[in-house]
Amino acid sequence: MALPNDYRADKTVLHPAKVLTLTRLESDREHIAMPICQFSLEPISDLNALAAQWTKLEESAKPSLFLSWGWVGTWLQNLPADVAPLLLVARAEERVVGLAVVNRHDQIRYGWLKSRGLYLHETGNKGLDTLTVEYNGILVEPDYAAGILTYALEFLGSRLLEWDEFFLSGLPENDLSTVELTGTSQHLWDFKPCDHVDLNFVRNSGKPYLDHLSRNTRQQVRRALRSYEKIGPVEVKVASSENEALKFLDRLKELHQTYWNGRGEAGAFANPVFESFHREFIQKRFGVGEIEMISVTAGDASIGYLYNICHRKRIYSYQSGFSYDEDRALKPGLVSHFLAIERGLTRQNAIYDFMAGEGQHKRSLSTNRHNLAWISVRRNRFKYWVEDALRSLKNSVKG
């Protein structure tokens, strides 16, 4: 793609990656007001140096969990040696104002369509991307946030790297309109709801949380709690040490795998990459108060385990394992999350986030919903026209 007239480029070589600095001198995009900044793409050679750079920018960027160094740093440390991530850096007057990690990965779809891909905070390898990044984007100072994705893509497309598609997974719905690039199109791969509980809204309402739920949900929660109380006192226990948190994770894994294997599916823990990452993540982040491993019991009987991650007053309900019973009145998922939400209300958290994906308990217990998108920004290629035409024909036949 040719450089627009309103850009000045200076290319140098930095082995093993090229560095190209792009400075926006002026823009005809009146709806995007972003101060002048420069972009470069650099190899990642020193994780300690990057940690210092990343955490400093976090102070002003205030990112989601998935753009925090706790998450990104653990991910980078767990990548195999044959994956060579690159660091996308935005600078303003030599000051770092934006950071992101991109990977190159080619894929072949349908046995014939080869796509040279770039991936934001993913590798493109399904086995390594089992962690499922959400609330994705670029770590950026607020003053530089508007249009940052578009300008980053324009930079990456300026003959620096050969790519056909840039994959942006788990992108907030509001960011979709900011991704605009001449000579490309957006392909929507998935669009998932994120149900959540606005804990501040519940507190300020002056009403108990249960009163914000539907009549049917209230009845189910009360009935289930009464049924569990017949077994024994219902208690919520939060792991008080790193060692106990890991023991809770082992039990959660057992219940999780039992449920999903029983449905003929592999379960999240079938991939060793998933468990390895999270055991290390818990070990790194328990001491800073981000790990909330919860055990819910009725007497001596286990109801369920929740693996929640607390980041900037947001509780991310990341993974779970429940003890199911033939008694339909016992609803371990509904009860476990309800009690965890009640606990969150007492600890001044702002959001209880069920994260992406449909789920009856999510809809029943939430007060709000937003969406995340899995998209790729595609360069105009004939092969994608063929792919879309074949998909449309297939859907027509099915219809």
pLDDT tens, 196-227? 999 999 999 999 999 999 999 999 999 999 99
> What pLDDT is attached to residue 391?
78
Say if 375 falls within a structural domain.
no
pLDDT tens-digit readout, 338-347: 999 999 999 9
Say if 216 falls within a structural domain.
yes
Say if 281 falls within a structural domain.
yes
Distances (CA, A) of 66 to 216, 274, 309: 34, 15, 11
| 232 and 327 part of one domain | yes
| 149 and 35 part of one domain | yes
Say if 2 falls within a structural domain.
no
Supply the range of the domain harboring residue 90: 7-183+380-398
Average confidence (pLDDT) over 84-104: 94
> What pLDDT is attached to residue 35?
63
- CATH number for the domain spanning 153: value is 3.40.630
| 352 and 244 part of one domain | yes
Confidence category of residue 124, pLDDT binned at 50, 70, 90: very high
| 67 and 213 part of one domain | no
| 30 and 119 part of one domain | yes
Whether the predicted pLDDT of 392 surpasses 90: no
| 223 and 302 part of one domain | yes
Say if 188 falls within a structural domain.
no
Average confidence (pLDDT) over 365-384: 89
> What pLDDT is attached to residue 160?
64
Say if 1 falls within a structural domain.
no
- The number of beta carbons lying within 10 Å of the beta carbon of residue 216 is 9
- CATH number for the domain spanning 269: value is 3.40.630.30
| 260 and 112 part of one domain | no
pLDDT tens-digit readout, 260-314: 999 999 999 999 999 999 999 999 999 999 999 999 999 999 999 999 999 999 9
Whether the predicted pLDDT of 16 surpasses 60: no
> What pLDDT is attached to residue 159?
60
> What pLDDT is attached to residue 398?
78
| 158 and 276 part of one domain | no
Confidence category of residue 316, pLDDT binned at 50, 70, 90: very high
pTM above 0.85, yes or no: yes
> What pLDDT is attached to residue 24?
36
| 234 and 363 part of one domain | yes
| 82 and 212 part of one domain | no
| 320 and 223 part of one domain | yes
Q: Based on the number of CB atoms within 10 Å of its own CB, is 389 exposed (0-12), middle (13-18) or buried (19 or more)? A: exposed
Say if 189 falls within a structural domain.
no
| Nearest to 196, CA basis, from 71, 344, 85, 74 | 344
- The total domain count for the chain is 2
Whether the predicted pLDDT of 9 surpasses 80: no
| 295 and 250 part of one domain | yes
